[in-house]
Homo-oligomer: A and B are copies of this chain.
């Protein structure tokens, strides 16, 4: 039987979501804990990867179990053995063909910048001592919605077949003594959000005009984007699925 699990994690001490040899990943810890609670070998599939140091305030995974699960009880027992930087929130039975990656129709990321050297945000925001021009950054961000190919913001030729994404929202807002960026799309390329943020911050610094930013996007040349923004400001914040997916009868 297939299940969806909603989790959140602080990515600070993990080498990203994905299991890999010789480095601690969120997936490895989660699979271990799920396997202990369910007393069978569990292997989860996430809605997508997050890189080293990137957080998730919402992430979904699916996995198969041979048993019918007492949903609330499993969440309770799982939270008792998960480390404090991973939480399990919700477990649902889903149809056998439901898939955490393929069925997600949108992902939303948040990126936080702080203008104050705040000891409580050292792992949770990018610290800038100088102000940024938010208006220019938002002019440039709006340009993202006019394009479909984001080769400019892709890291390397990886496992992707194409560089097309549909961006639904890309917007900076004031947030306390800092800024918060929200970007929502049907899919993201590897490293894309941090490259977009790094380049938009160059717009905010006055190093790049919104028009020059548009040329970069249109140019589809990955050597032209700015450096990636640091991981600690980035959160996977929301993953959306068709409602009917969660309504499978047990």
Contacts and interface: CB of A to CB of B under 8 A. Distances in A.
The 5 closest A-B pairs by CB, nearest first: A84-B122, A10-B119, A87-B117, A85-B119, A87-B119
B119 A8 contact: yes
A8 B122 CA distance: 12
Interface of A: 8-10, 55, 57, 79, 84-87, 89, 116-120, 122, 124
B79 A120 contact: no
Instruction: State the majority secondary structure of interface residues on A.
Output: mixed
A118 B10 CA distance: 9
A120 B10 CA distance: 6
A118 B116 CA distance: 24
A138 to B, nearest CB: 26
A7 B247 CA distance: 51
Contact of A119 (B84, B116, B119, B122): B84
Given A84-B119, A120-B124, 13 more contacts: A8-B118, A8-B119, A8-B120, A9-B119, A10-B119, A10-B120, A57-B120, A85-B119, A85-B122, A87-B116, A87-B118, A87-B119, A89-B116
